[in-house]
Structure 1
Amino acid sequence: MTEPRETAFTSFLKDFAENVGKFHKGANVLAGIRDEDVDVGATPKTLVMRRDKVELFRYEPTAKRTVETPVLIVYSLVGRYTIADLQSDRSLVRSLLAEGTDLWLIDWGKPGRTERWLMMDDYVDDYIHQAVHRICRETGHDKVTLLGICQGGVFATCYAALHPEKVKNLILTITPIDFHADIDDPAAIQGLLNIWIRSLAPEDIDRMVNALGGVIPGEFMSSIFSLMRPMHSLTKYNVGLFDIVDDKDRLMNFLRMEKWLADRPDHPGEAGRRWLKELYQENRLAEGRFELSGRIVDLRAIDMPVLNIYARDDHIIPPACSKALGGKIGSTDYTEIPHPSGHVGLFVSSESQGKPAKTIAEWLQARDG
């Protein structure tokens, strides 16, 4: 006797039963996970200095030192540095330590309304400057290598231009320099953030910051980034999460990323005004008109070796905005390396693991004499 042929409805019932079982298994996995289990930024480090809410850390070494000049990570104010140390097997920090670097970190903390008046001048000429002096005092070196990430790369670039005597090497990752370089880029999707910010009237930016209490809330910035990839944002908690909910390792990867996204701090309003108006809208840095602490940031003053790593599929910082650096600095030792990833994927994608760190370490070893 032949078995009855499977109909569309019986196929639906079969899939439904399998999915219900998967959901229950996933629910049990989720029920056993606590907040402290989703650990990000867990690589051991020691607090060396605190200034206001800003902290300077030194990471504990994990391998024989191959690069003597200390490397200071300068991250963005828009997010938390933990994306560079998301988990043990997806960590630029751990990979750099494994390559033998003396690694330091400046952590901006979580600015609030009491920091609303902080300017970019304060971050570059006060916090970074004091951190560099402390590192030099602790290590006996007279210079450091700056490793800037995204907005932190702009801060590092400005510092290197204003204080070239304190910077031995400048390394930038996914860093915008020419904020208008994407205007003629046919891949418009890579410049949606630029297009939106340039479309705002300067007085609208002031109204926005004032209405939000003098800061740009992290939740507000998160919503902007989510709108840049609407379908991904709409489906990751149902379709995407459902596909991995019964796999604890993949689920933990997902939760760590979500914890980083949810940990976006508020951005000081005064620094934000200048960031949006003078850089995104007026493009003053690339045009040699950007001023910090009463001095013009002259990119031609950057005469130290420069390594510029950008992401080819970056939808937040268009590659053209990063690549523009090479033609504006004074250094003859300039290296530009594209990476086949997106903005965040440069640090956390499985294909990226170890590659940026190895590139950085080899580049530094060749210049650490």
Structure 2
Amino acid sequence: MTPSDSADSAGADPYAELLDYGRRLGAGLDHLHAGGAPELAATAREVICRADKLTLYRYLPRVAAPQKTPLLIVYALVNRPTMTDLQPDRSLVRGLLDAGLEVYLIDWGYPDRADRLLTLDDYVNGYLHDCVETVCARHGLPAIHVLGICQGGVLSLAYAALHPGRVRNLIPMVTPVDFHVPEFLLTKLVRPLDLELMIGTLGNMPGPLLNFLFLSLSPFRQGRQKYVHVADLAEDPGALANFVRMEHWIYDCPDLAGTAFREFVTATFHDNRLVRGDFEIGGRRVDPARLLMPMLNIYATRDHIVPPQSSQALRRLYGGRDYSEIAFDGGHIGIYVSRQASRQIAPAIADWLRSR
């Protein structure tokens, strides 16, 4: 029996498979080089104002008569808000615009050592409040809609509890609330950190280090498996471009202002104060019972970063009468960039706001 006969009897020839994998991988690299760097955050927008590292953007409407009350997107301090507009055909921002909304977004920028003493009070009662006031003034309204994403959802909940008259409708999205549910693996990774030593030594929380913690939640898939499958995208330049966009977003990690990071981790991952009812910002208690405005809580059922059980805890803390939930069948990232999400999430948000 020849070696080829042996390979045929056992199935596909491993040498041929290896050669084909190399060919496809080479073809994919050629497509990437030919296409250049893919563009992120391509939806047309304008700068409304800047403050220190922060930029407030307004997206240009895509319908003739958008809804009168604008929506402000408050992204997390972690990673970059380009996730909301990562791909032209699967963009949360573009979906909201196409659904008839007027959309603003806060880009927190890249904090440096000069920002190490910024507190949660600075972010919530300072920067965030100023952005809300700016949008309200531009539209001549006393209150606007607020969509808070992940950690930005926690900041939005705090802001709405402290300034309830400025938030007409509140939409937390994949937002952690109960940080001590057993499924919250990130809590188990973060709590052992020596915050005083880390922040005292470094000044800020390095973005790449925090990103390493997130990648550690799914080490094989994020560190190895996805790169093996790059060759499967070789014949599809569009899919390759989307892969590169995602990789760029994953590793685009701003540092976090040291004092604010320490305050946030202590109040949430360590002490779970939002659930306990003793979370304070700027000397004022963040009381979820003051959240009386209509609320749409959106979470992902297969979220490996913010487990749905953590987000669902908001139902029992909410003090109002108009509470709704959307359980998206997907993950923490898929809720922004999957085809299913592009068909469901933005239209559902627009419909919910339109009815209120």
TM-score of the superposition, structure 2-length normalised? 0.94
The answer to whether 1:157 aligns with 2:157 is yes
User: How many angstroms does 1:240 deviate by?
Assistant: 1.8
Within 2, Cα distance between the matches of 1:101 and 1:322?
Answer: 25
In structure 2, which of residues 319, 343, 346 is the aligned counterpart of residue 330 of structure 1?
319
Q: Name the structure 2 match of 1:53.
A: 53
Query: Could you tell me whether the CA contact under 8 Å between 1:71 and 1:144 is conserved in 2?
Result: yes
User: How many angstroms does 1:5 deviate by?
Assistant: 7.3
Tell me the SS of whatever aligns to 1:327. helix
- For the structure 1 residues 194 and 65, does the alpha-carbon distance in structure 2 shift closer, same or farther, using more than 3 Å as the test? farther
CA RMSD in angstroms comes to: 1.7
The answer to whether 1:206 aligns with 2:186 is no
Q: Name the structure 2 match of 1:242.
A: 231
Within 2, Cα distance between the matches of 1:171 and 1:237?
Answer: 32
Tell me the SS of whatever aligns to 2:35. coil
Within 2, Cα distance between the matches of 1:214 and 1:140?
Answer: 40
In structure 2, which of residues 21, 24, 35 is the aligned counterpart of residue 19 of structure 1?
21
In structure 1, which of residues 337, 362, 365 is the aligned counterpart of residue 354 of structure 2?
365
Paired amino acid for 2:139: T
Tell me, which stretches of 5 or more residues in structure 1 are unaligned? none
Within 2, Cα distance between the matches of 1:278 and 1:171?
Answer: 22
The answer to whether 1:291 aligns with 2:290 is no
- For the structure 1 residues 20 and 44, does the alpha-carbon distance in structure 2 shift closer, same or farther, using more than 3 Å as the test? same
Paired amino acid for 1:167: V
1:25-64 paired onto structure 2 within 5 Å? 25-35=27-37, 38-64=38-64
Tell me the SS of whatever aligns to 1:356. helix
Tell me the SS of whatever aligns to 2:171. strand
Within 2, Cα distance between the matches of 1:124 and 1:5?
Answer: 68
The answer to whether 1:224 aligns with 2:213 is yes
Q: Name the structure 2 match of 1:352.
A: 341
Within 1, Cα distance between the matches of 2:64 and 2:99?
Answer: 8
Tell me the SS of whatever aligns to 2:68. strand
Query: Could you tell me whether the CA contact under 8 Å between 1:41 and 1:85 is conserved in 2?
Result: yes
Within 2, Cα distance between the matches of 1:125 and 1:13?
Answer: 62
The answer to whether 1:233 aligns with 2:222 is yes
1:1-369 paired onto structure 2 within 5 Å? 6-8=5-7, 11-35=13-37, 38-180=38-180, 182-183=181-182, 188=183, 191-198=184-191, 200=192, 204-211=194-201, 213-236=202-225, 238-367=227-356
Query: Could you tell me whether the CA contact under 8 Å between 1:300 and 1:328 is conserved in 2?
Result: yes
Within 1, Cα distance between the matches of 2:65 and 2:295?
Answer: 21
Query: Could you tell me whether the CA contact under 8 Å between 1:54 and 1:108 is conserved in 2?
Result: yes
- For the structure 1 residues 255 and 219, does the alpha-carbon distance in structure 2 shift closer, same or farther, using more than 3 Å as the test? same
Within 2, Cα distance between the matches of 1:55 and 1:238?
Answer: 34
Within 1, Cα distance between the matches of 2:54 and 2:4?
Answer: 68
Paired amino acid for 2:316: G
Within 2, Cα distance between the matches of 1:284 and 1:356?
Answer: 30
Within 2, Cα distance between the matches of 1:147 and 1:66?
Answer: 17
Within 2, Cα distance between the matches of 1:144 and 1:24?
Answer: 50
- For the structure 1 residues 365 and 66, does the alpha-carbon distance in structure 2 shift closer, same or farther, using more than 3 Å as the test? farther
Paired amino acid for 2:218: R
Query: Could you tell me whether the CA contact under 8 Å between 1:23 and 1:246 is conserved in 2?
Result: no
Tell me the SS of whatever aligns to 2:313. helix
User: How many angstroms does 1:237 deviate by?
Assistant: 5.4
Within 2, Cα distance between the matches of 1:17 and 1:229?
Answer: 29
Query: Could you tell me whether the CA contact under 8 Å between 2:32 and 2:241 is conserved in 1?
Result: no
User: How many angstroms does 1:13 deviate by?
Assistant: 3.9
User: How many angstroms does 1:140 deviate by?
Assistant: 1.1
Query: Could you tell me whether the CA contact under 8 Å between 1:55 and 1:108 is conserved in 2?
Result: yes
Tell me, which stretches of 5 or more residues in structure 2 are unaligned? none
Tell me the SS of whatever aligns to 1:267. coil
Tell me the SS of whatever aligns to 1:276. helix
User: How many angstroms does 1:196 deviate by?
Assistant: 2.3
TM-score of the superposition, structure 1-length normalised? 0.91
Paired amino acid for 1:340: D
Equivalences, count: 351
Within 1, Cα distance between the matches of 2:186 and 2:76?
Answer: 16
Within 1, Cα distance between the matches of 2:238 and 2:86?
Answer: 14
Deviations 1:229-250 (A, max 9, x none): 1111232454121221342111
Within 2, Cα distance between the matches of 1:269 and 1:131?
Answer: 22
Deviations 1:40-71 (A, max 9, x none): 11111111111111111111000133522110
Within 2, Cα distance between the matches of 1:7 and 1:17?
Answer: 18
Identical-pair percentage? 41
